[in-house]
Structure 1
Amino acid sequence: KEEATFQGPARTCAVTHVLKEMEPVVLALASNEHYFPGLYCAVASALSYLDSTREVDLKVLDGGLSPESRSTLSRLIERFGECVRLEFVTVDPSVFSKATLGPGKSHMTYCRTLLPQLLNVPRLIYLDCDVLVFRDLAKLFDLELPPGKVLAAVPDSETPILRDDSRAIAATMSLPADGRYFNAGVVLLNLDELRKQNFTKQSLEFFRDWKGHYRFWDQSAINFLLHDRIAELPEHWNRAAWRFDEQDDNSLDCVLHYTRSAPWLGGIPGPAQVLFERFAADAGSPVNRQIAAFKKSRRQQFFRNVLAPFRALAFPVVSLFYKVTGQKEKCAGYQKAARYWLDYILKTPRRRRVHHRRAREIQGMKFRFAAFSP
């Protein structure tokens, strides 16, 4: 046995890292056709960086993949040999018709709450499709959750506490408004325990009862329903792409999560976007920059930069207005936004220099594509 740790806000909880060479690593992802380019790259990276001696059971929740996309993914899996087994699990997102629409104007993101009912396995790792994996997921899969915990995740980089999702839900459920909030893009799940707790049924009720109040779809249900039962993982298991963009170098050894924009649909210009496009090209699924969504995203980024000076000037005035009228929360919000845009403008020259250097370095990177070797 090896000792590993889960990091917590107040203390570090020791857990046992048990080597389970004979147990297959179970990975699950959910996708429709809109997200297939991300699914392909997430799977290619996860399998390329996973311990080659481990068997893998890959479960893809299929919410509308085309026959061509299913065939493309199957051919990718074949290149990794018999140690990787692929199963498509058909799901019907319409079961979430009473929930708020999620990313891509669909209910696909909610499907991870169905995992305890769909898959008869004791535990698994769930990955969003907008990730690139540069770390061995077998090490995450082998972690034993501490007593009383049913899943492990990384704290959210942009929504740190429960009230940032919904103050009303936290109050009604008697949860601390400043309770820790986790990102559900990479999670280690104990499905046996979630089944015992009827998590899927509770989630469906949550989506129905709180429609219009929660901000982050199934992630909201996970955080509110499972509060105090989530173990904290180190940040390298789910690093936001914007944090990678803020680095001075291209060091990886992490799971990179594109939380703000799908990189195959335009993304956000920067090192993380360059990295995704370079990886996708090497993996055999290059990003199509000619599609309408990609061009629209680039236009939006252009106007975002054009409007930055106006926002930096206008937001302090708006903040002052709300201060005079006694609206403290809105005043604080616009003050924060004003500081962000001022900082964004002041750092632009250096950011561009660093990003150009890092982009050149990324073009020379060598990825670990064992399955793609001749």
Structure 2
Amino acid sequence: MERIHIVAATNDSYAKHLAVMLTSLFENKKSKNPVTIHVIDGELSDDKKRRLTNSVKRFQAEIRFLKVDKSLYEAVKVRYHLSKETYYRISIPALLGQHINKAVYLDCDLIVKEDIANLWNISVHDFELGAVQIPGHVDRYKELSIPEHMGYFNAGVLLLNLRKWRANHTSDKVLRYIRDNQKKLKYMDQDALNAVLKGKWKKLDRRWNYQVHRHRHQNFKPAIIHYTATVKPWSGNPRFKEEYVHYLRKTIW
């Protein structure tokens, strides 16, 4: 049975929220696929590593902590509520073993409500990645030279075709775009990913990245709830806050 590879990036501040996300993922996983969690380490303390390890141990999952080459991201711009760790997803193809050809990247500020294997099993064979388009008005098309019909995706949930990324040197292209277009980047690496991968990504159903501050659909059951924007369930009262609290109570935090 195929092993599922999940990747996240965190620092000490977000370690608790990562534990909540992973708890929700495993609580709702029904498939028998084994899972490896790859955590890109933003200078995590030994205590936070221990807590994260214990968080997944009860689900018989494997967790690995990965060190990124931080020199690649020394001069990057950081805005809004985001941290430098958000850029680390660009390095995933290099950080994971060459034998791993597919991975799911997940932000820490989300809750997984459906079996993650259902996302994993979506084919992205002909694409660099699968992602969910941001609904409604997006003001990035003109600035990034993206035709509107191609869409603009939120980078918090990515189904990555690592084989294609490595073959096409995609990480290098994204990093080069970031270096050369600092003034254009409003949403940092998300802008760069969209600019470089225009026309090369597969549009996934919106339920795989239900962006709380943008969606207002009633009676809709998201597979992944993403607490986008600055209002988070641990500091405010966004929609679906109760989901975060529910899984928080199941963690060692």
Q: Do the structures match in fold with TM over 0.5?
A: yes
* Amino acid paired to 1:44: T
* Amino acid paired to 1:128: D
Asked whether the equivalents of residues 110 and 225 of structure 2 are also in contact (C-alpha less than 8 Å), the reply is yes
1:257 aligns with 2:226: yes
Alpha-carbon distance between aligned partners in 2 of 1:236 and 1:277, rounded to the nearest angstrom = 20
Q: Secondary structure at the match of 1:46?
A: helix
Alpha-carbon distance between aligned partners in 2 of 1:123 and 1:262, rounded to the nearest angstrom = 31
1:165 aligns with 2:160: no
Alpha-carbon distance between aligned partners in 2 of 1:229 and 1:75, rounded to the nearest angstrom = 38
Shift of 1:41: 0.9
Q: For residue 37 of structure 1, what is the aligned residue in structure 2?
A: 16
What are the Cα deviations for residues 158-213 of structure 1, in whole angstroms up to 9, with x where unaligned?
A: 554xxx1262331xxxx425531111111110001001111111111111110021
Shift of 1:247: 5.0
Number of aligned residues: 251
Give TM-score scaled by structure 2 length: 0.90
Match of 1:235 among 206, 209, 234: 206
Shift of 1:56: 0.4
Shift of 1:282: 3.2
Runs of at least 5 residues in structure 1 that lack an aligned partner in the other structure: 1-21, 286-374
Instruction: Identify, as 1 or 2, the structure richer in helix.
Output: 1
Identical counterparts, % of pairs: 27
1:101 aligns with 2:83: no
What are the Cα deviations for residues 109-134 of structure 1, in whole angstroms up to 9, with x where unaligned?
A: 00000011111210111001111000
What are the Cα deviations for residues 17-64 of structure 1, in whole angstroms up to 9, with x where unaligned?
A: xxxxx1101110011112112211111111221234110011010111
Q: Secondary structure at the match of 1:282?
A: coil
Shift of 1:94: 4.3
**Map of 1:1-374 to 2, 5 A cutoff?**
22-81=1-60, 84-102=61-79, 104=81, 106-120=83-97, 121-145=100-124, 147=126, 149-157=127-135, 160=138, 164-165=139-140, 167-170=142-145, 175-176=146-147, 179-242=150-213, 246-248=216-218, 252-261=221-230, 263=232, 265-267=234-236, 269-285=237-253
* Amino acid paired to 1:257: H
Give TM-score scaled by structure 1 length: 0.63
Alpha-carbon distance between aligned partners in 2 of 1:34 and 1:193, rounded to the nearest angstrom = 33
| 4+ residue segments displaced more than 6 Å | none
Runs of at least 5 residues in structure 2 that lack an aligned partner in the other structure: none
CA RMSD of aligned residues (A): 2.1
Greater relative contact order structure (CA < 8 Å, 6+ sep):
2
Asked whether the equivalents of residues 93 and 108 of structure 1 are also in contact (C-alpha less than 8 Å), the reply is no
Q: Larger radius of gyration, structure 1 or 2?
A: 1
